[in-house]
Chain A
Amino acid sequence: MSGTSTSARPEWGTLIGIGLTFFAIGVTVNVLVYEHVGSAVKTIAAAGIVLSATSELAYVAVRDVGGSVLAALIAGWVVASRFGLLAASLGTRIQVGHLQRSCAALNCLDPNVGVAMQQATPKGVITAFWWVTGALHLGWWCGTFTGVFLGNIIGDANRLGLDAVFPALLLAIIANLLRQKPGLIAALVGGGLCAALLPIAPAGTPIILSLTGAVVALKVPEPKAALS
């Protein structure tokens, strides 16, 4: 389902799907952020330099319920700490110079790392990473401008079911990992733990603690194909 071809460039259908999903995310997130910020320039700047929809949402959500600026910032950072984990994972699989490595780190998101990590070679990993990054940036920027300038026409984007698009895309991206026992165990434990902790743990921490899923899955023997 990761839709990879032998050239390591993901299939066009995969890239279009990722682009469309990030368009939808760009619209829904930036309508909310624009309402909170009240400035088109700041909303667009935040979309570009933070490059984390969930961090922006976490900040806005904490502020909207009366939380302090510091609490909101911490929530935004904690939510984004998963990108550090994903960057660490990606970093072990790529063989590039510091400039490209730093650029890749700053662009680490769930879909591009998810697709890249399923490639067989370091060159394939970085190639797939940048293709997906390009697709998601295209969608994200088109969605951001649409959300900021046409958000009042679109109204409630969730009415269109757009809030189901991102989890559906992520599920499609990690589908290949779920077809192997270690990946499935990591996902079930990580996802289950996150869901269980959501009502009681501070914002963002359930996702960090989902790392436990990967630790538990270490006990599952690797598939024979991966060992050879």
Chain B
Amino acid sequence: MTWTIIILLAVGVASLRLLGMYGGTALVRRVPMFERLGSLIPAAVVSAVIAQLTFASGKSLTIDARSAGVAVAAVLIWRRAPIIVVILAAAATTALLRL
């Protein structure tokens, strides 16, 4: 990874963020339906990230120790456990299953 690549990657990522903040927000404000859509985007997009981080192994899907850790976290979240407990339990479960 050269300096040019780092800068290109950074400029691209920053541009997408600024485009969303200015272009995306303007669009959402002009079309009333998009306003509600905007409030639903975090749930849809973050869930997709969770699915990818939990089940993806390269280009395939897998259920492994990491998935079990996230499943334990899900139960604790459902039981309204504090976030620290949730993430420590997820890590501990995953690590123990990998012993």
Question: Which residues of A approach B to under 8 Å, CB–CB?
Answer: 1, 3, 13-14, 16-18, 20-21, 24, 33, 36-37, 42, 45-46, 49-52, 54-56, 59-60, 63, 69, 73, 76-77, 80-93, 101-102, 104-106, 108, 110, 113-114, 117, 158-175, 177-178, 182-184, 186-195, 198-199, 206-207, 210-215, 217-218, 222
Which residues in B have their C-beta under 8 angstroms from that of A60?
1
- Cα separation A67 to B1 with both chains bound (whole Å): 13
- Cα separation A92 to B29 with both chains bound (whole Å): 7
- Cα separation A7 to B62 with both chains bound (whole Å): 41
Additional A-B contacts beyond A33-B1, A106-B18 (16; CB < 8 A) = A37-B1, A54-B49, A55-B9, A80-B17, A87-B18, A159-B95, A163-B53, A165-B91, A167-B50, A177-B42, A177-B43, A183-B40, A186-B40, A207-B45, A214-B37, A214-B41
- Cα separation A199 to B61 with both chains bound (whole Å): 7
| Binary contact readout B11-55 vs A (1 if CB under 8 angstroms, 0 otherwise) | 011101111111111011100010111111111111111111111
> Can you identify 23 A-B contacts, CB atoms within 8 angstroms?
A3-B83, A42-B1, A80-B16, A83-B13, A84-B16, A87-B20, A89-B38, A106-B17, A161-B98, A163-B53, A164-B90, A167-B49, A171-B50, A172-B77, A174-B43, A187-B44, A194-B48, A194-B52, A198-B60, A207-B48, A214-B40, A214-B43, A215-B37
| Closest B residue to A166 using CB positions | B53
Least CB distance, A172 to chain B, in whole angstroms: 5
Q: Is the CB of A92 within 8 A of B73?
A: no
Q: CB within 8 A of B87: which of A45, A46, A106, A165? A: A165
Q: Is the CB of A173 within 8 A of B41?
A: no
Which residues in B have their C-beta under 8 angstroms from that of A20?
84, 87
Which residues in B have their C-beta under 8 angstroms from that of A187?
43-44, 46-47
What is the number of contacts between chain A and chain B, taking CB atoms within 8 Å? 310
- Contact (A171, B1) CB under 8 Å given A89-B39, A210-B44: no
| Closest A residue to B13 using CB positions | A80
Which secondary structure characterizes the binding site on chain A?
helix
| Closest B residue to A198 using CB positions | B56
Least CB distance, B54 to chain A, in whole angstroms: 5
Which secondary structure characterizes the binding site on chain B?
helix
Question: Which residues of B approach A to under 8 Å, CB–CB?
Answer: 1, 3, 5-10, 12-14, 16-25, 27-29, 33, 35-56, 59-61, 65-66, 69-70, 73-74, 77, 80, 82-84, 86-87, 89-96, 98
- Contact (A198, B41) CB under 8 Å given A87-B17, A102-B21: no
Which residues in B have their C-beta under 8 angstroms from that of A183?
40, 43
Q: Is the CB of A105 within 8 A of B43?
A: no
Q: Is the CB of A167 within 8 A of B43?
A: no
Q: Is the CB of B24 within 8 A of A161?
A: no
Least CB distance, A205 to chain B, in whole angstroms: 11
| Closest A residue to B84 using CB positions | A17
Which residues in B have their C-beta under 8 angstroms from that of A162?
91
